[in-house]
Amino acid sequence: MSSNNYYDVTTWHVGNPSEDVGEVINSIIADVKGRQVATDANDGGKPGAVIYIPPGDYRLRTQVVIDVSFLKIHGSGHGFTSSSIRFNVPEDEWPDLHELWPGGSRVIVDIPDRAGAEESQGAAFYIERTGNPRISSVEFSNFCIDGLHFESDGLGMHPENSYANGKTGIYVAGANDSFRISEMGFVYLENALTIYHADALSIHDNFIAECGSCVELRGWGQASKITDNLIGAGPKGHSVYAENHGGLLITANNVFPRGSSSVHLEGVTRSSVTNNRLHSFYPGMVILAANSSENLVATNHFLRDHEPWTPFFGVDNGLDDLNGLLSVSGSNNSVVGNHFSEIIDSQSIRPTGATPVIIRLKAGMGNFVSNNHVVAMDVRSKSSDSCFSAQVDALLSTEASAGLAVTAVMVDPDSSRNTILDSGTDSQVLADRAVNALRATPTVGYQPAPSPLASPNNVPSATP
């Protein structure tokens, strides 16, 4: 039996989806609301609907406004391909490229630029509903949202490398419950996802890259997860950012370099950052700020190396090497079992002559730092016009290099009563031993003092 709650944008009788899929989807939502008016009909009444976007290119010139629960918008292919690589290939080579644009079920954000407009007005999908209950169970799945072009930001870079265009993929303005964003592709948007006041949000298995900022959870929220995504922001934005959240799970993400940070938490408590692969070209990879406390940062792989691609050579996030790859301003956090690879050119260290910091405890108390492994190598940086081959070559190179002196853990005066175990040799840990507990990682040739219980005079005799 067919359902009147399933819609296909290519067969709906209002609008032309190729010219303005926004007009079409808004008309469908109006139809859903017009038909589903009963709040309690046979133990139901408002089941919501599914809107299908088949493979193809669909311009969005009218913002989609969603104010109804239980709505799923899905396609048949996330369609991501690197627009950044394409725009940095000489134009005379474009005719030989297999394709020029993202594909799949592709929504092209073509909202007219409104100078000085509110940030939310540049969003392809805007979600907000007042009153009770909160809007719930809105889902986006398996299609591409493409911002098409970046624009000059006045800083002198090629306009297509600016990560600026005022466009957002999905903007959720009010309190929401049980939203799901999965198998999506986001590309060339200044902000891919901006979500306020999320409860039980799932951002899972998406490809979110070449966007100014990728995931921003703002306001406050709880019990949400960001899992199994491929993520990469621009140097002025966040790959993953959350503020005032509790119970947030950030796990199994592969975070690409070039974002100003990999994970930035502001006032986040009792949350987990675990089992992620994090790659950055600058310090400040993971930031726990604004009294972020009782969080677990465990078994992540941190790699900090140099930008190898010529168009972005020399671009950074403004932080120097004393900031640390991981910085903590908060209390009672656990930083356990992480691997840090600092593979940089010592000639590029800032400030000149400084010793780079890996973990920095800036403020708070009672943090537990244990069994973290640091590999630090001094390499000569290289650059290439080929993004893919240059980065792969850099990742796979483990040729013999000189060791690089680092400070594995630095504890500032505003941080105290921390426990630091087996996360750096005695000389690699800078901490006031009077107010912090420390057990250094042994070095080769280290001989611990014999325990009194192990001396011959303390061996108990056999019972007669």
The predicted pLDDT at position 23 comes to 98
The predicted pLDDT at position 464 comes to 36
Contact by Cβ (8 Å): 206, 183: yes
From residue 254, alpha-carbon distances to 204, 276, 335, 418 in Å are 12, 6, 19, 30
Please write the tens of the pLDDT for every residue from 373-413: 999 999 976 655 554 455 555 555 555 468 999 999 999 99
CATH code given to domain 258-444 = 2.160.20.10
Q: Could you tell me which residues come within 8 angstroms of residue 441 by beta carbon, excluding any fewer than 6 positions away?
A: 422, 423, 424, 425, 428
1-256 and 258-444 share one CATH topology? yes
Q: Which residues of the chain are under the pLDDT cut of 70? A: 1-2, 114-115, 309, 313, 381-401, 446-464
Distance CA 199, CA 217 (A): 11
The predicted pLDDT at position 208 comes to 98
The predicted pLDDT at position 223 comes to 98
Distance CA 358, CA 182 (A): 33
Distance CA 172, CA 198 (A): 9
Distance, CA of 8 to chain centre: 32
Distance CA 246, CA 293 (A): 10
Distance CA 318, CA 202 (A): 32
Please write the tens of the pLDDT for every residue from 216-260: 999 999 999 999 999 999 999 999 999 999 999 999 999 999 999
The 3-state DSSP class for residue 98 equals: coil
285 CB-contact burial (10 Å; exposed 0-12 / middle 13-18 / buried 19+):
buried
Global confidence as pTM = 0.92
The 3-state DSSP class for residue 184 equals: coil
Maximal CA-CA distance, the chain: 99
Cis peptide preceding 235, ω within 30 of 0: no
Strand extents, DSSP E, 67-212 = 71-75, 105-109, 123-127, 135-136, 139-141, 144-146, 168-172, 176-177, 180-182, 185-187, 191-199, 202-204, 207-211
Q: Which of 68, 205, 59 has the alpha carbon at shortest distance from 126? A: 68
Distance CA 253, CA 248 (A): 14
Say which residue the tokens 């691609």 belong to.
Answer: 309
Strand extents, DSSP E, 122-167 = 123-127, 135-136, 139-141, 144-146
Instruction: Return the domain boundaries, the chain.
Output: 1-256, 258-444
The predicted pLDDT at position 449 comes to 59
Q: Could you tell me which residues come within 8 angstroms of residue 75 by beta carbon, excluding any fewer than 6 positions away?
A: 52, 53, 54, 55, 104, 105, 141, 142, 143, 144
The amino acid at 376: A
Q: Which of 253, 229, 345 has the alpha carbon at shortest distance from 302? A: 253
Q: Which pair of structure tokens corresponds to residue 152? A: 């000059």
Q: Which pair of structure tokens corresponds to residue 39? A: 């709040």
Distance CA 208, CA 256 (A): 10
Fill in the DSSP letter of residue 176. E
Q: What is the dihedral of CA 149, 153, 156, 157, to 10 degrees?
A: -30
CATH 2.160.20.10 fits 1-256, yes or no: yes
